[in-house]
Amino acid sequence: MDFGTSYLSLSVQDIAASCAFYKKLGFEQLPGAGSVEQKWMVLKNGDHKIGLFQGMFPKNTMTYNPTNARAIHKKLMEEQVKIDMASGMDKTEGPCNFMVTDPDGNPILFDQH
């Protein structure tokens, strides 16, 4: 299973303040990857990415961007991994995502664009 790229999706209280803070750490907003107005964005510093999400996730979430989330979803279902939420899995192509939670309560999002 190829999970593709990964980043930490941070659940933030004030996206403008968080964006300003991470920019001071050298992160830059990725073009076309959200905005303060949309209340989500992805920032990059070298090979490292973080997502800032205001009001979208209840807690910090590990996010993967696989090229074939449907295959991963199918494999995890076969392994009897509980799927917490899924969208677009009933289609054969296009964007889709699903979320699982590890034994310690850490959410993991698989988000195919």
pLDDT at 2: 84
Q: What share of the chain is helix, strand, coil (3-state, %, to 5)?
A: 20, 45, 40
pLDDT at 66: 93
Q: 44-62 burial, b if ≥16 CB within 10 A, otherwise e? A: eeeeebbbbbbeebeebbe
pLDDT at 57: 85
pLDDT at 5: 82
pLDDT at 6: 86
pLDDT at 4: 85
Tens of pLDDT, residue by residue over 21-40, are 999 999 999 999 999 999 99
**Domains of the chain by start residue, with CATH:** 5-112 (3.10.180.10)
What is the residue whose two structure tokens read 């054969």?
92
Residue ranges, the chain, pLDDT below 50 = none
